Amino acid sequence: MSHLQQALLEENLLETIKEEFQHGYVYEIYPDEEQRQYIHRNCGCKRKLHNLFVDELYQYLESINFEKGIIPNEFIKNLSSAKSYKEKFPYMKEVDSLALSAARMDFVASIRKYNLEYVPKGNLYKKKALRQVETIGKELTFRDLKGMPKFSAKYFSEQSFTTNNQNGTVRLEEHSSRNKRFMALAIPKLKNPIKLRYHREIPDGAKITRVVIHRIGQDRYTASLTVVFNKEHIALKHDPESLDRLKEFLHAHPEYCLGLDYAQQEGCVPSSKDKSLLDDILDTFQKTYRKNEQKLKALQKQLSRKIKQSSAYLKLRSKIKKLHTKIANIRKNALNILSYRIAKQFAMVAVEDIDLRGMSQSLRLAKNLLDNGFGMFREMLAYKLRANGYLFVKIGRFEKSTQTCHECGHINTLTKDTKIKEYDCGGCGRHLHRDYNAALNIRDIGIRDISADLFEKKTASFSLAKLRARKNSRAGNLS
């Protein structure tokens, strides 16, 4: 038992609960030639079906003279089934029917995402389309709206397909060959299971619900298994009395809670002065893309001089994809290690809900921001802290964490300038480090914002009815 758990048990702040978890496990798979052809057919039929649905959507929107707004629910009700297209294209009968059904469900989900996420923002047009209006006088249509489903290209889209487990159709099996034992993955319509690298065991009693097969480049394949299992673990109590005592405990023992402030160069700055944690953070956010940028530049230059879709072109493009995959894997591995350590060491971690997507539009900030992977790091922290029974808090993005002095509360608006890293407080005269002071404020605001809602699983509660009601109320206010 860790020091953190001992301290929380002494304060009677922990309880044992049994909870259902849904986790994903990614494995490298090694299909033979027949299995590769089957995977390629599934990926191709999924892409074909998606493009047929997009064409059906565009024809419908043109027939009703659609310009902006919500895509009517009538279209989803009348959308063709995957079975109807199998009759038109007989080769689709050779692939997994569940993969085609999943393609239809993904398309419907993309329409609902457009209605629920992009329409409330005011139906913005893509930047590329707006530039073409100025340069070539392009006329904007619904196809140029952000979030609108679009056609999937053969060479530039993600090649994958999804199948669900029905009565054990997706399962892991143990096999042996030449006195060597290995694990294999069985999926529908394949006689022989696919060999995989079983580097991580799934929990006992876990049920596989679905699998997503990805094709990466020309010769690499992965399988993403979604498993559901029950786990008994220790978690923080969340009744009102316990939450009040938890806040008092964290105020008295700040070493058991952490505030993280995003920083362009360091990745993030913690409120803790633990030297080993600071070293781990510097090792994690090591600008992997920047280190390989010159190598990528040279390969891209070679690629630009090849004949498109020639064997040399495809071979070099595969090499570039492998290097991008290596960069992403190095970043993901480092973030996983750091988030695992933090989730074990602290009972509460608070971060700022900064607009990472908006910041990534800036030419000055985008490359470092995306290279750091701070958004992915926040997601890892959230699910790992929840699995350990601890708290992850996102404070409001409009909190004045950077401008406020942690000691006296004096607000210094000059710290909005990111070039100012250190300054003297105008209230108490204390010498402050901009990011470290912000991390301390984020930690304290996180403790203040602890509530029972943080323990609930987040579910989508937004609906088209609510969206229409909001739209009508706005129209009434304007009139």
Tell me the three state secondary structure of residue 98: helix
Range from 37-46, 91-100, 386-395, 460-469 carrying the lowest mean pLDDT:
460-469
CA atoms within 13 A on the CB side of 123: 13
Full strand arrangement of the beta sheet holding 159-164: 159-164, 207-216, 220-236, 14-30, 194-196, 180-186, 171-177
Split at pLDDT 50, 70, 90, the class of 465 is very low
- For the segment 188-201, the average pLDDT, to the nearest whole number, is 92
Q: pLDDT tens digits for 60-70?
A: 999 999 988 99
- For the segment 13-40, the average pLDDT, to the nearest whole number, is 92
- For the segment 116-126, the average pLDDT, to the nearest whole number, is 87
- For the segment 114-135, the average pLDDT, to the nearest whole number, is 89
Please give the pLDDT value at position 416.
Answer: 82
Q: Which residues contact 371 (CB under 8 A, 6 or more apart)?
A: 287, 288, 289, 290, 331
Contact between residue 206 and residue 229 where contact means Cβ atoms under 8 Å apart: yes
Split at pLDDT 50, 70, 90, the class of 470 is very low
Please give the pLDDT value at position 440.
Answer: 93
Residue 381 has pLDDT above 70, yes or no: yes
- In angstroms, the CA 38 to CA 34 distance is 6
**Mean pLDDT across the chain:** 88
Split at pLDDT 50, 70, 90, the class of 163 is very high
- In this structure, what DSSP letter does residue 94 have? G
Q: Which residues contact 306 (CB under 8 A, 6 or more apart)?
A: 312, 313, 316
C-alpha 103, offset from chain centre = 20
Residues 200, 1, 234, 207: what is their CA dihedral angle, to the nearest 10 degrees? 20
Range from 67-76, 410-419, 461-470 carrying the lowest mean pLDDT:
461-470
Residue ranges of the domains in the chain?
A: 17-32+162-231, 33-157, 237-455
Beta pairing partners, 18 = 232
Q: Find the helix packing angle between 434-448 and 240-252, rounded to 10°.
A: 150
Say if residue 465 is exposed, middle or buried (CB neighbours under 10 Å; 0-12, 13-18, 19+). exposed
Selected residue with higher pLDDT from 219 and 147: 147
Q: pLDDT tens digits for 232-254?
A: 888 999 888 999 999 999 999 99
Contact between residue 258 and residue 274 where contact means Cβ atoms under 8 Å apart: no
Q: Which two tokens stand for residue 453?
A: 């809602």
Cα four-point dihedral sign 375, 381, 384, 385: negative
Selected residue with higher pLDDT from 303 and 475: 303
Q: Find the helix packing angle between 97-113 and 33-63, rounded to 10°.
A: 40
What H or E segment, with its residue span, contains residue 229?
strand 220-236
Residue 218 has pLDDT above 80, yes or no: no
Q: pLDDT tens digits for 312-331?
A: 998 898 899 889 989 999 99
Beta pairing partners, 231 = 19
Buried b (16+ CB within 10 A) or exposed e, 229-250: eeeeeebbbbeeebbeebbebb
Q: Which residues contact 382 (CB under 8 A, 6 or more apart)?
A: 392
Split at pLDDT 50, 70, 90, the class of 365 is confident
Split at pLDDT 50, 70, 90, the class of 457 is low
Residue 354 has pLDDT above 50, yes or no: yes
Q: How many CB atoms lie within 10 A of CB 91?
A: 11
- For the segment 46-64, the average pLDDT, to the nearest whole number, is 95
Indicate the pTM of the whole model: 0.83
- For the segment 3-16, the average pLDDT, to the nearest whole number, is 89
- In this structure, what DSSP letter does residue 144 have? G
- For the segment 172-187, the average pLDDT, to the nearest whole number, is 88
Please give the pLDDT value at position 471.
Answer: 45
Contact between residue 144 and residue 133 where contact means Cβ atoms under 8 Å apart: no
Please give the pLDDT value at position 474.
Answer: 42
∠ CA 356-69-462, rounded to 5°: 60
Residues 35, 36, 37, 41: what is their CA dihedral angle, to the nearest 10 degrees? 100
Residue 161 has pLDDT above 50, yes or no: yes
Residue 217 has pLDDT above 80, yes or no: no
- For the segment 48-62, the average pLDDT, to the nearest whole number, is 95
- For the segment 412-429, the average pLDDT, to the nearest whole number, is 85
Percent of the chain with pLDDT over 70: 95
- In angstroms, the CA 251 to CA 443 distance is 10
Please give the pLDDT value at position 361.
Answer: 82
